């Protein structure tokens, strides 16, 4: 199982980290939805057409991810909260052992 930390936005008060475990091969978005993580809406169910699964991936995990494909880059333009250098959609991020402990910050809102 891969451990994941989802950290709430400080805009909602004190940032709170929630740890979740998920099987390798699941997407980061699927892990969030299965654990009812508030802040990941994933309206399109992973079709990469909604940008409501936006996260900010912390280092060193961000550097371990494959670069975003053009369709992810395009969809990030529609993210509700400001895009940062570590902005990613969580639906195309497939969990692997190299991502053990991955920590992501949740945007203040997905809408
Ligand atoms: S779930 Fe819709 S873009 Fe990721």
CB neighbours (10 Å) of residue 25? 10
Residues paired with 7 in a beta bridge: 17, 105
Atom of ligand 1 nearest to the CA of 41: 1
Residue 25: pLDDT over 90? yes
Residue 10: pLDDT over 90? no
Q: Rounded mean pLDDT of the chain?
A: 97
> Is the CB of residue 33 below 6 angstroms from any atom belonging to ligand 1?
no
Whether the bond between 60 and the residue before it is cis, its omega within 30 degrees of 0, is: yes
The residue whose CA has the least distance to atom 3 of ligand 1 is 48
> Is the CB of residue 29 below 6 angstroms from any atom belonging to ligand 1?
yes
Confidence at 11, pLDDT banded by 50, 70, 90 = confident
Mean pLDDT of 45-69: 97
What pLDDT does residue 13 have?
A: 86
Between CA 84 and CA 81 the distance in angstroms is 9
Backbone angles phi, psi at 69, to 5 degrees: -75, 160
| CA 63 / ligand 1 centre spacing (Å) | 21
Between CA 98 and CA 88 the distance in angstroms is 17
Percent of the chain with pLDDT over 70: 100
How many residues make up the chain in this entry? 111
> Is the CB of residue 79 below 6 angstroms from any atom belonging to ligand 1?
no
What pLDDT does residue 43 have?
A: 98
Mean pLDDT of 21-44: 97
Q: What's this model's pTM, rounded to 2 decimal places?
A: 0.96
- Write the pLDDT tens digit of every residue in 68-95: 999 999 999 999 999 999 999 999 999 9
Between CA 4 and CA 55 the distance in angstroms is 13
Mean pLDDT of 11-22: 92
Atom of ligand 1 nearest to the CA of 75: 3
Q: Which residue has the tokens 């975003």?
A: 68
């Amino acid at each position: 199982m891969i451990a994941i930390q989802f950290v709430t936005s400080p805009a909602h008060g004190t940032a709170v980290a929630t740890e979740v475990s998920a099987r390798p091969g699941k997407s980061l978005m699927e892990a969030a939805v299965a654990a009812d993580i508030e802040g990941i809406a994933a309206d399109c169910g992973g079709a990469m057409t909604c940008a409501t699964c936006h996260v900010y991936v912390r280092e060193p995990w961000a550097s371990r991810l494959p670069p975003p494909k053009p369709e992810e880059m395009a969809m990030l333009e529609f993210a509700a909260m400001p895009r940062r250098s570590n902005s990613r959609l969580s639906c195309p991020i497939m969990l692997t052992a190299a991502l053990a402990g991955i920590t992501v910050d949740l945007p203040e809102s997905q809408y």
